[in-house]
Amino acid sequence: MIQVQAERCALLKNQLRCFHFLQAEDLPELTDYFTCASVGAGDTLWREGDVGDFEAFIIEGKVEISKETEFPGKQVVVGVYSPGTVVGELCIMEDRPRAVTAVALEETALLLLSRDNLEQLLTVNPALGSKLLKGMLMVVSIRLRKSFERLASIF
């Protein structure tokens, strides 16, 4: 993994919902807290039950999120996520195993934020960390609202 360049973060401000709350001058400071990763089509980012300590902001590609059902070996696709969103955000907020499995559907580029780096950001620059958390909360809120709509459509 490589450190994130400031120019890359600047481009992401317009692409990632979580970054919309940030100012241009905030972006260079964020670069120290993220790392870049790329995975191939079919690669598993993590499996349900794995220990998780990072979230992934999708830059390019698509990631499928699935959940085991009560029927052994059967999974349900929770969603397919594209550039501009974040996956794995639950484990960064709480120290629990991964709730879902994440698999890249195609070549995928990611920005990774570890729990330790988020905590460091919140300590060093609470205002900037709070802005990032606000963006992450917005994404989680939208996702929860869509889940409610999906559940309601079933019944």
Q: Which domains, ranges and CATH numbers included, belong to the chain?
A: 1-147 (2.60.120.10)
- For the chain, give the mean pLDDT: 86
Asked if pLDDT for residue 62 goes beyond 80, the answer is yes
CA 143 vs. chain centroid, Å, equals 12
Could you give the maximum distance between any two Cα atoms of the chain, in Å? 50
Asked if pLDDT for residue 11 goes beyond 80, the answer is no
Selection from 66, 56, 62 nearest residue 18 by Cα: 56
Asked if pLDDT for residue 98 goes beyond 60, the answer is yes
Q: What is the reported pTM?
A: 0.84
- Contact (CB, 8 A) for 65 and 87: yes
* Residue of higher predicted confidence among 63 and 92: 63
Q: Confidence class of residue 116 from pLDDT cuts 50, 70 and 90?
A: very high
Asked if pLDDT for residue 137 goes beyond 90, the answer is no
The CA R_g of the chain, rounded to the nearest whole Å, is: 16
Percent of the chain with pLDDT over 70: 88
* Residue of higher predicted confidence among 31 and 81: 81
